[in-house]
């Protein structure tokens, strides 16, 4: 039976790089997967992307054949990936990712190739694995009460930097996050967190508390360096209060994970955590989530992910 493959692309991702790569991606999928029904949709705006992803997912689920599960492949940045995983989480529909954005943190954290060519090769090789996701609950953006996150929820200094970067009118690609980190640093103070970790209340004054499943944010910051996407646990990083100069020295070390050796850093794992506090705003997978409190819960095997490399092979 012909397999349904649906490719949804943000042609503007990567400053238009996605559009240029589309013909080679389509050719690679057709050549490698053989007898497929490849349907391609190009989005024109975030609103259009959301509507198209929702409609495709509804159609695939309405005509589901679990012996020959359909696939939705997202081509673009982490925002497109977030739309896809929220549409097909907890279903048999397979999710593929062709990274073509500036950050591609989801692909990093899930061990996926970081080039479109590598991603296509992984998909056509038939590699797939069920992975954990993080479910977020609260009064979220757009009136939602629940959504899925594949990477990291941030609510402190890191979320303010992310929010500033998202609202930029001039984008410098991966450099934008670093520039905005310096701007926010000049006025940031430690925040009073009210946490409930696996049912236990904990009040904490902190610079950053990051919670997630796959451990990257901000275009390559490895904020959860001990993460696993299949262990049924969330990872939590707490950066306790330090001076601005010390935080400035710490930030570059988040890109290789070595920051975790600093005495101000604490690492935890949990199955659930509720994040609350004054003046906080949640960001997840690079997208605005909403105000706190936000309850985070790990859901094992919530997503069928295509193109995942074997554990012993490093991602590109």
What CATH number has the domain bearing residue 140?
A: 2.60.200.40
Give yes or no: residues 110 and 149 share one domain. no
Give yes or no: residues 148 and 89 share one domain. no
pLDDT on residue 314: 43
Q: Which residues touch 140 (CB under 8 Å, ≥6 apart)?
A: 146, 147, 282, 289, 290, 294
CATH classification at residue 80: 3.40.50.10330
pLDDT on residue 312: 41
For the chain, list residues with pLDDT below 50: 312-316
pLDDT on residue 25: 97
pLDDT on residue 175: 61
Q: Is residue 199 part of a domain?
A: yes
Q: Which residues touch 120 (CB under 8 Å, ≥6 apart)?
A: 25, 28, 29, 32, 98
pLDDT on residue 48: 97
Q: Is residue 20 part of a domain?
A: yes
Give yes or no: residues 290 and 141 share one domain. yes
Q: Is residue 310 part of a domain?
A: no
Q: Is residue 306 part of a domain?
A: no
pLDDT on residue 160: 64
Check: pTM over 0.75? Answer yes or no.
Answer: yes
Q: What's the domain range around 141?
A: 134-301
Q: Is residue 27 part of a domain?
A: yes
| Domain count within the chain | 2
């Amino acid at each position: 039976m012909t397999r349904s493959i649906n490719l949804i692309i943000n042609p503007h991702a990567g400053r238009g790089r996605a559009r240029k790569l589309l013909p080679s991606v389509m050719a690679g999928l057709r050549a490698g997967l053989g007898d497929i029904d490849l349907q391609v949709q190009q989005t024109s705006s975030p609103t259009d992307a959301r509507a198209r992803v929702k409609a495709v997912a509804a159609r695939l689920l309405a005509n589901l054949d679990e012996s020959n599960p359909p696939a939705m492949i997202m081509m673009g940045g982490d925002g497109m990936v977030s739309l896809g995983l929220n549409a097909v989480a907890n279903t048999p529909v397979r999710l593929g990712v062709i990274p073509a954005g500036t950050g591609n943190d989801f692909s990093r954290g899930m061990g996926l190739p970081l080039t479109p060519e590598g991603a296509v090769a992984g998909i056509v090789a038939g590699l797939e694995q069920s992975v954990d996701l993080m479910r977020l609950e609260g009064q979220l953006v757009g009136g939602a009460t629940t959504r899925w996150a594949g990477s990291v929820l941030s609510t402190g200094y890191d979320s303010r930097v992310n929010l500033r970067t998202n609202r930029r009118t001039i984008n410098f690609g991966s450099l934008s996050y670093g520039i905005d980190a310096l701007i926010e640093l000049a006025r940031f103070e430690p925040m009073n967190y009210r946490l409930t970790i696996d049912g236990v209340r904990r009040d904490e004054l902190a610079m950053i508390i990051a919670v997630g499943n796959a451990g990257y944010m901000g275009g390559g910051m490895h904020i959860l360096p001990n993460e696993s996407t299949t262990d049924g646990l969330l990872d939590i990083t707490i950066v306790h209060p330090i001076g601005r100069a010390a935080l400035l020295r710490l930030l570059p070390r988040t890109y290789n994970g070595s920051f975790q050796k600093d005495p101000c850093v604490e690492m935890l794992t949990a199955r659930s955590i509720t994040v609350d506090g004054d003046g906080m705003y949640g960001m997840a997978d690079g997208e605005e989530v909403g105000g706190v409190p936000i309850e985070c819960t790990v859901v094992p095997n919530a997503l069928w992910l295509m193109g995942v490399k074997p554990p012993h092979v490093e991602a590109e």
